[in-house]
Amino acid sequence: MEQELSVVGKRLPRPDGVAKVTGAAKFAADIKLPEMLIGKVLRSPYAHAKIVKIDTSKARKLPGVEAVITPEDVPKKSFNRSPLGITHPPSRRARDIRDEYVLTDKARYIGDAVAAVAAVNEMIAEEALELIEVEYEKLAAMLDTTQAMKPDAARIHDFAKGNIASHIPYAFATGDVESGFKAADHVIEETFSTSKQKNCQLEPDAAVASFEANGKLTIWSSCQNSHLARASIAEIFDLPLGKVRYINATVGGGFGGRCSFNNELVCIALAKKAGKPVKVSYSREEDFVTHEGRAVYPVYALKLGVKKDGTITALQSKIISDAGAYYSQSGGTGAVTLMSIYRVYKCPNKSGELDIIYTNTPHSGGMRGYGDPEAMFCLEQVIDMAAEKIGMDPLQFRLKNHLQAGDPAPILPIESCALDQCIKAGAERIGWKEKKNAKKEGIKRRGVGMSIVVHGSGTHPALLEHSNAFIRLNQDGSANLFVSPCEMGQGILGALAQIAAETLGLSYEDIHVTAGDTDLCPFDTGSHASRSTYIVGNAVVRAAAQVKQKLLERGAKNLGVSASELDIKEGQIYVKAAPEKRVSVAETVTDATYNFERCCEFFSENATFDPDKAALSFQACFVEIEVNTETGEVTVLKIVIAHDIGRAINPMNVEGQLEGGATQALGWALYEDFAVSKVTGKTITDSFATYKIPATLDMPEIEIILVEEPVPSGPFGAKGVGEPGHSSPAAAIANAVYDAVGIRIKDLPITPEKILNALKTKRNR
């Protein structure tokens, strides 16, 4: 039976909205502390070079300079810049390679941090940088994976033979792929490559660090994982956890790159040295070079066996990932991309492997989808090829093959799956039947394409998913909700407030949310992997239910009935059988607080949630595009995303997430390509002038269809939705290009040059 909901499911404005649109929101760059210094970082001009000597004497003498630090002054402990590593169970520590220092004594890419200064203002800090004299011993630069994997390649990290940082086999391999391929009627074997995409969050990285007289550190920045950041910082700087307070200032976008430290650590090292608060704000150029982005997969080889009837017999992968100079989240994204390949379709024989290679280029890391869009770009083209091979509509092929609720799934059982509904609804909206079979002719040719995807809500059982919510009632009947996801624009705080309000029987306005401060908010692993609504949401439901129970008990005493006879709605505790018998939550809490009969009570409850599921969400994406066969230009005319959300806590936010994801996907498919010079390793695309992301005018109509089939394990049936909007469009566009003009672009981005070349090749064939 459908629950009757008052707050969940409503299109409500977000609590952080007014501050953001009025400019009142304070980002880390806006923080000003008394005596605060400005920090700047000296970066290597060489892609690969040993630092022989650093002379900071001139810089130190410059009036206004209060600290100069070199590799000598930073913790001797190596670390992985992603605090997510800290949640790995010990057995999986292989993924958590610790290969960085706050400042390096060996530059591994152009932009690597070598020294830093803190001065009373920015000008002096910059002048001081110029006064630092560094003697480098240049080493051969390995600028791509081919070069780096050669037997005589220069070693970037001592431990990494052949510059292989790690080798990751697909963890849930089954059957025997060789016999699978033998049993197949057709084997499709294709090699793709995907490009490096930058997160391009609106807010460039900024951090402020301040030590109190008692040694307590407070650090403000935009990390997506406040409690893990705190734990990591404590470990790196050898501070007791209780002496580290991590605070999220307003976060201007994350998209996964803020699951890693950016300028936090150098900021802390400077503040420690200077004995004063320090702010480090990166320019957009610095951000492009140093803020991690989506990994490059220069080789993404898939091999699929299929029978004439459309049964998939085997699926194999062999992937090379370019980590750049440091490991960061490459292990995590690698594991996810492998997992993504195998969780969409039924297939008895599966295996795969991935090598992560160091190069002397800016490091890769986490970005929305985290390996999933890459997997789909390749897999969903192979699926279309297989369908074509056996003469089956690719839509039918997918309906036949995708995993359903109840099917044996690679990792966890599938609780619910509305993918059939998504595929059918999306196909109808795009006009699949007519358009798929329409004749393609003329200079501008239209085509349709589709792709599907399966995405988890959180990472269970791969990473720790421990989450908490803490609720405290005020005497006016409002509630303070303390949680620790990262509000980075996705609207999570509003969604959690809706969940709390619905559970408590209060109005949305009565929930005051506090997040992102480790001294205030309980432990949670933060915002990544589309987890927060599902996992933190469940913790909120539990905490709210506990508080509600206490309210009912107190109300029962006041109304002279038993708690089970009561419920709460719109801030009123009422007798279910006689709703006019009621007492407000405000009166009840006031009475409990200001009670002179010595039965004071304080409504304050914490709840832990630790999932045993990952509530898979399902999505079908359809696009219609037009290829100009003379210019090679691809215009996307329409994107339809039909998404099985379980329950849309706030449909407006869910649509926003899917639209935002689709926009980034369109940029990745057609325009974006982070480029470094093949000669020097210098970043070429270090601004929005050279690195093009889609603007409003580039965007087609996007239609979002929300399919709500509540998942039993979700809060009010909700699943996560942060990432999958990004996972489907690139593959669907590539398939549509094929539909329009019969060519397959297998390496991203799908540029006019590649289209024209392919058309030429095709004509010449």
Residue 15 or 447 having the CB closest to a copy of itself: 15
CA gap 447, 619 in Å, rounded: 20
Q: Please report how the helices 372-389 and 330-342 are oriented relative to each other, as an axis angle in degrees rounded to 10.
A: 30
Q: What are phi and psi of 17, to 5 degrees?
A: -65, -50
The size of the interface with a copy of itself (CB under 8 A), counted in residues, is 56
Binding positions for a copy of itself, 493-532, rule CB under 8 A = 510, 512, 514, 519-520, 522-523
Does 25 engage in binding with a copy of itself (CB under 8 A)? yes
Q: What are phi and psi of 40, to 5 degrees?
A: -135, 155
Among residues 6, 584, 604, 680, which is the contact residue for a copy of itself, using CB under 8 A?
A: 604
C-alpha torsion sign, points 379, 383, 386, 388 = negative
The SS3 of residue 544 is helix
Does 474 engage in binding with a copy of itself (CB under 8 A)? yes
Q: How far is CA 613 from the centre of its chain?
A: 19
Nearest distance from C-beta of residue 512 to a copy of itself, angstroms: 4
Binding positions for a copy of itself, 475-494, rule CB under 8 A = 475-476, 478-480
- The H or E element spanning position 658 is helix 651-670
Does 553 engage in binding with a copy of itself (CB under 8 A)? no
Does 688 engage in binding with a copy of itself (CB under 8 A)? no
Written as one letter, the residue type at 472 is R
> Cis (ω within 30 of 0) for the bond into 461?
yes
Does 94 engage in binding with a copy of itself (CB under 8 A)? no
Token duo for residue 96: 């958590």
Does 612 engage in binding with a copy of itself (CB under 8 A)? yes
Does 206 engage in binding with a copy of itself (CB under 8 A)? no
Does 461 engage in binding with a copy of itself (CB under 8 A)? yes
Dihedral-angle region of residue 404 (phi above 0 means left; psi in -120 to 50 means alpha; beta otherwise): beta
Token duo for residue 331: 């292990």
Q: How far is CA 305 from CA 317, 319, 386, in A?
A: 12, 18, 8
Does 158 engage in binding with a copy of itself (CB under 8 A)? no
Does 537 engage in binding with a copy of itself (CB under 8 A)? no
Q: Provide the edge-to-edge strand list for the sheet that holds 206-211.
A: 65-69, 113-119, 37-43, 278-281, 206-211, 217-221, 244-248
Q: Which stretch binds a copy of itself (CB under 8 A): 20-28, 380-388, 635-643, 745-753?
A: 20-28
Q: How far is CA 498 from CA 143, 410, 516, in A?
A: 49, 33, 18
Does 242 engage in binding with a copy of itself (CB under 8 A)? yes
Residue 289 or 515 having the CB closest to a copy of itself: 515
Residue 35 · residue 277 · CB < 8 Å: yes
Does 172 engage in binding with a copy of itself (CB under 8 A)? no
Does 558 engage in binding with a copy of itself (CB under 8 A)? no
Among residues 464, 616, 642, 707, which is the contact residue for a copy of itself, using CB under 8 A?
A: 464
Q: What are phi and psi of 491, to 5 degrees?
A: 85, 20
Q: What are phi and psi of 9, to 5 degrees?
A: 95, -5
Nearest distance from C-beta of residue 322 to a copy of itself, angstroms: 30
Among residues 6, 421, 608, 757, which is the contact residue for a copy of itself, using CB under 8 A?
A: 608
Does 212 engage in binding with a copy of itself (CB under 8 A)? yes
Does 593 engage in binding with a copy of itself (CB under 8 A)? yes
The SS3 of residue 734 is helix
Q: How far is CA 556 from CA 545, 551, 553, 559, 574, in A?
A: 16, 8, 5, 5, 9
Does 298 engage in binding with a copy of itself (CB under 8 A)? no
Dihedral-angle region of residue 717 (phi above 0 means left; psi in -120 to 50 means alpha; beta otherwise): left
Q: Which stretch binds a copy of itself (CB under 8 A): 62-70, 121-129, 463-471, 731-739?
A: 463-471
Nearest distance from C-beta of residue 714 to a copy of itself, angstroms: 18
Written as one letter, the residue type at 314 is A
Q: Which stretch binds a copy of itself (CB under 8 A): 124-132, 397-405, 603-611, 753-761?
A: 603-611
Q: Which stretch binds a copy of itself (CB under 8 A): 213-221, 389-397, 447-455, 486-494?
A: 213-221
Does 15 engage in binding with a copy of itself (CB under 8 A)? yes
Residue 550 · residue 599 · CB < 8 Å: no
Nearest distance from C-beta of residue 266 to a copy of itself, angstroms: 23
Tell me which residue of 611, 567, 616, 341 sits closest to 457, measured CA to CA.
616
Does 66 engage in binding with a copy of itself (CB under 8 A)? no
Q: Which stretch binds a copy of itself (CB under 8 A): 69-77, 212-220, 355-363, 387-395?
A: 212-220
Q: Can you give the binding site for a copy of itself, defined by CB under 8 A?
A: 15, 18-19, 22, 24-26, 30, 32, 34, 86-87, 89, 212-214, 216, 231, 234, 240-243, 461, 464, 466, 468, 470, 472, 474-476, 478-480, 510, 512, 514, 519-520, 522-523, 593-596, 598-602, 604, 606, 608, 610, 612
